[in-house]
Structure 1
Amino acid sequence: MSEPIRLVVAGGGTAGHISPMLAIADAVKVENPAAQITALGSPGGLETRLVPEAGYPLELIPKAPMPRSINLDLLKFPFRFAKAVNQAKAVLRRSNAQALLGVGGYVCTPAYLAARKLGVPIFVHEANSKAGMANKLGAKHAAAVGTTFAGTGLPGEEQVGMPMRSNVATMDRAALRDEARAHFGLTDDRPVLLVTGGSSGALSLNNAVAQSLQQLNAAGIRTVHITGRGKQLTDDSGALLAHEGYTQVEYVDRMDYAYAAADLMVCRSGAGTVCELEVAGTPSVLVPLPIGNGEQKLNARELVQAGGALLVADKDFSAGYIAEHVIPLLGDRHKLEEMSQAASSLGRRDAAQIMARKIITEVSSRALPGQEG
């Protein structure tokens, strides 16, 4: 396709939605360097920071979630939702969009309806093993539906894997190890435990690690702790928690460094995290988020069955679990290498490129000879 494609990408709220959306946008840019890509999100989500940082213009429409109880908000909902659909239409018209990509989240439902009313082709990517309501709606009328996991139940689904930014998708964990450890100030060869609860942090993980620092250090383990923005751990005086062998940071933009520096990672099992662990080949202890519809436990299933990760319920992850399971595992290099190989055997690196080609091929097929594509 010689002419620049005009694409709107919709998704937001958490990094789990935004990261694959941006990965696909980047892949479209590689295939079609002059592509005009606009992101659609909602106020208050991580997209307000991550999308501009990635270099894409961002348009915002208000959230219009369906109220779960009978109250005043329920009466206002039809008007709020209609307004959101109309604003999404306006964005599609202003950008003269030739396609809409949705990855889930509140913003996608009005975006899908707006695109259908305007005759704009819809593309859907579902990250989780259990599809969300927005993507269930969008998939009904989509030109193509890509999924990370098999069996989500979406019509016309094709398992393509998880779209991920190039620095993770192309990473070589062994080659990046020294650079990654230097990034976190790690200057020796002691085993490294890296703990992260995701972009918003995880209080239960944070507390269990804080209670285990003395045991971890005594076992010769360095702990790197990504606490989440605004969730730094403090001591009784209010100062940042400090301990020998312990480093805490709020947020890491270079997650490839995290995967490469870690001998073992303790983390949630969001779809993006699970797939990145597989691509990196990083052994892990997965602690599914205990709320929602159980999709995080399902996300972890294949990696755990392959032997690349351990699974523990949030209520069972404690200082006692760390002492009984995590510390011994970090002392077993052979077991860690087996887990790494098992994780790597599942890694898929080309999902973003597959989705980008589907979008570009569809837009190209709709372009009439002699007209702008």
Structure 2
Amino acid sequence: MASFLVAGGGTAGHVNPMLATALELRERGHEVAALGTAVGLEADLVPRAGLTLHEVPKVPLPRRPSADLLRLPKNWAAAVGAATRAIEATTADAVIGFGGYVSTPAYRAARKAGIPIIVHEANAKPGLANRLGARWTEHVAITAPGTPLPHATVTGMPLLPPVRDLARKLADPATAQALRSEARAALGWDAGATVLVVTGGSLGAASLNAATVGAIGDLVAVGVHVWHLSGRGKADEALAAREALPAALRERYRVDEYSHDMAQVFAAATAVVCRSGAGAVAEATAMRLPTLYVPLPHGNGEQALNARPAVNAGAATLVADADLSPARLLQEATRILEPGTARTMSEAAADFGITDGAERLATMAEAAL
């Protein structure tokens, strides 16, 4: 058995696949520890998963002249030093990085230590850390085809066990029907209800919320049940819209700020409207869900690129954030919820989605030794 140090932090996009891979490696009998910061999401989630967190200082790489740029050499040396000490403390045989500011010093420390580096890139457009790491290794995993990194192998996204296990159960039609019926009944809805899930993630998405509030009367009037996850602190307008619905239709619109059990949300869904972070795309396709993606309009455009392979495969459709309106949401949602279209998109998602990403990446890591 071997010892692995997994490195990733900051956002769920880095932390969740890191934890999924770590849990798979631990299941195989390996020793696993994590490298992260004291302030990112990993500071909470890594200990919850029963893993030791070795801390490394956060060192953003400035893209323009600033005070951070002047402090970079000292901060970089401190981060590489912390990563080196973590490798020594865990007697790590290899480092697996998932991008972000935690991975860069981890890759450098692993190279200095002469141990293998394994890179996992979630997004269609790789970040700076993984572009650097991929220059130092031939063990590069990507989530979907087309990500421009050398030596890349498509492994899919490592999914956390609850999501992975549900995705596998949904592959069996009889089991899927029973699970979906059970999830809808738990919400007080009919087992055969048509359910549209709208989510902008834990922080919410203003455009998705506004479009949903504007379209909700028409959606519930045609029999659609909507589960709207508004984001923390952003439910007021949705709750007001729910109260304004006729009493007979009000029960078709459920509003929550956030769900700690996304497996239950996916189980209840007929189709989904969401942003197109790499994790969202991987989970929706693994669950065989027809999806309308509304990519985040900011940043480097990676979300639109993340969604494109699933759209090209016929598993999803895409609307630009600027083009989303209540009328457009109503039009697209009713189209993907139409039984024939939903079935075709679900079959395409089944062909495109990957449920064993953690297993594939763990096997790559073992082979790197």
TM-score, length-normalised on structure 2? Answer: 0.89
Q: What amino acid sits opposite 2:85 in the alignment?
A: A
CA contact (8 A) 1:128 1:295 kept: yes
Amino acid at match of 2:273: V
Matched residue, 1:25: 22
**1:328 positional shift:** 4.7
| Deviation of 1:192 (Å) | 0.8
Matched, 1:314 2:321: yes
Work out whether 1:234 is the aligned partner of 2:241. Answer: no
Residue 12 of structure 1 contacts residue 105 of structure 1 at CA under 8 Å; is this kept in 2? yes
Looking at structure 2, the residues matched to 291 and 165 of structure 1 have their Cα atoms a distance apart, in angstroms, of: 27
How does 1:90-169 map onto structure 2 within 5 Å?
90-169=85-164
In the TM superposition, 1:269-288 aligns within 5 A as 269-288=276-295
- Match in the other structure for 1:370: none
CA–CA distance in structure 1, aligned partners of residues 187 and 109 of structure 2 = 45
Kindly state the Cα deviation for residue 9 of structure 1 after the two structures are TM-superposed: 0.6
CA gap of 1:235–1:313, structure 2 versus 1, over 3 A, is closer
Matched, 1:192 2:198: no
1:24–1:223 CA distance, 2 compared to 1 (3 A): same
> More helix by proportion, 1 or 2?
2
1:114-136 Cα offsets, whole Å, 9 max, x none, are 11112222111111111111001
1:9-67 Cα deviation digits (max 9, x unpaired): 111222111121111112112222xx221111223322222222222222222211122
Aligned to 1:367: none
- Going from structure 1 to structure 2, the CA distance change for 1:183 and 1:62 (only over 3 Å counts) comes to farther
SS of the counterpart of 1:260?
A: helix
Matches within 5 A, 1:1-373: 3=1, 5-32=2-29, 35-170=30-165, 171=167, 172-173=169-170, 174=176, 175-187=178-190, 189-228=192-231, 230-235=232-237, 242-243=242-243, 244=250, 245-330=252-337, 332-363=338-369
Aligned positions, number: 354
Deviation at 1:315, TM superposition (A): 0.9
Query: What's the CA shift string for 1:76-135, capped at 9, x where partnerless?
Result: 122112211111112121112111110111111111111111222211111111111100
Distance in 1 of aligned mates of 2:188 and 2:93? 47
Asked if the contact 1:162–1:352 (Cα under 8 Å) also holds between the matched residues in 2, the reply is: yes
Residues 328 and 361 of structure 1: CA distance in aligned 2, closer, same or farther (over 3 Å): closer
Query: Structure 2 CA distance, aligned partners of 1:235 and 1:303?
Result: 32
Whole-angstrom CA distance in 1 between matches of 2:13 and 2:51: 18
**Which runs of 5 or more residues in structure 1 are unaligned?**
364-373
Q: TM-score normalized by structure 1? A: 0.88
Worse overlay, 171-180 or 140-149: 171-180
CA distance in 1, matches of 2:223, 2:148: 46
Amino acid at match of 1:26: L
Instruction: Please say if residues 235 and 257 of structure 2, whose CA atoms lie closer than 8 Å, have aligned partners that are also in contact.
Output: no
Judge conservation of contact 1:232–1:240 (CA < 8 Å) in 2: no
For the 8 Å contact 2:126–2:148, the answer to whether it is kept is yes
Gaps of 5+ in 2: 171-175, 244-249
Distance change (3 Å), C-alpha of 1:263 and 1:120: same
Whichever residue aligns with residue 248 of structure 1, its letter is V
Distance 1:138 1:292 in 2: 22
- How many angstroms apart in 1 are the aligned matches of 2:343 and 2:147? 31
